[in-house]
Chains A and B, each alone.
Chain A
Amino acid sequence: MSHDETLKESLTRNGVSRRGFLKFCATAASIMALPPSMVPAIAAALESARRPSVIWLSFQECTGCAESLTRSHSPTVEGLIFDAISLDYQHTLQAAAGDAAEEAREEAMKENWGKYILVVDGSIPLGNPGYSTIAGISNLDMLKETAKGAAAIVAVGTCATFGGIPKANPNPTGAVSVSDIIKDKPIVNVSGCPPIPVVITGVLAHFLTFGTIPELDELGRPKVFYGNNIHDRCYRRPFYERGEFAETFDDEGAKKGWCLFKLGCKGPITYNACATAKWNEGTSFPIESGHGCLGCSEPNFWDMGGFYKALSQPAVDVSQTAAYALGAGAVAGLGIAALNRKKKADVATDHQTVTIHDLRRNDPSKTEAEDS
């Protein structure tokens, strides 16, 4: 498979017909949330698109993101798009190992300098470079080196986008996200733990088709996929409005499919495509299977106060703080009370009785004669 081959050629070689190709374009349009009228334009763009080289670096991660992508049922648009790129380096998927693998990375970088897409999953430890290394190279060095020649970076998963679980309190490795380190390249944050497969491929499809990265939100996430709030799209929303909440996972409310807010659902603060794109070939999404949203596509989702604590509850222990403040307030109040009492007592002791005679005596306008 050469990089000079166009996407169309590659798909044809893989036995994809013209009809199949247009279907692929239509699917690509729909995952990029583009109108069907865009399909011919996409087809034209893709027909001449060169298969871009993709280098995938995995740092402090669990391989869940790669699993999410590769375990999606085939044949799918995800699979097709994966055929459409040249994945030149990926620990989990590549056959080569050791030096051969590193050589493959270096070669791909040299050949496609300035043009390749860098995909990163996992966070980068800054505490000690030894926490995570590949072929003796620290994650930080490898990221910096590989990012230099990249056309764009796609941070896949919440670890790479926001630090994720490694960064969770107390962040033992000093983990940071890709965008904390790389400042001079376009970075697309595809967050989620793991991200929805179609979202990962949607970003790649966008890059393939338009050669640019999609429009991003304030957290660097593509708006087309992260523009919707889970709570806004949740089919349990009417129960929320009516104040009908499941109190436990097996009570009447849970059986009736009531809102999971009290069981810790973070849907109201989570932006992702789960409620619309769904998981497992469109089967369902977590709330549909009876579990509240964890908010996995948001920064700090691990530290939001607990997965099973309602969103409106404090993220920290306030009761104890309040108890201390109460004690301190009482002590200070008694202190002030003592001061006030002292003032009152002082006033009482300092009180001098004054006679009419005393007042007159001090008045110079009155003469002694008048006085007597």
Chain B
Amino acid sequence: MKIDFELNGKPTSVDVDGTTPLLWVIRDTLGFTGTKFGCGMAQCGCCTIHFNGMATRSCMLPIQAAKGAKITTIEGIAKDGKLHPVQQAWIEKDVAQCGYCQAGQVMTAVNLLERNSKPTDEEIERAMEGNICRCGTYHRIKDAVKHASELMNNQ
């Protein structure tokens, strides 16, 4: 089935089984491997993308639901070669250990700050609760979200 949508600002068209989860279309069909597979059950957050501006798990979202949607992946967060403040904060706070979960963490954080540019500690914790990190980088994730919030508000 042919499906048209917008991926990282570019019109994109694929011809795949409509029940294929968006994650696998992004990764296998289109070759954007920044979005990760962790559980396939919408439980870990590794596969988080933005779907019409909302942080969404792509591993259980059938591609047919993406008709005409605006989708952003981790590869589409930096604009014109300039890192997003969240990415910059993640580097400055040296968040990543193995790094595998971090694309999903960054996507969730970007979406949180788009909706709420000065989140409280509690709001940060609630928003990030869905993204698992086995390396235990939560302490720095929280620091980095706060730092990103400052960077964004000072821009």
A binds B: no
Residues in chain B within 8 A of chain A (CB atoms):
none
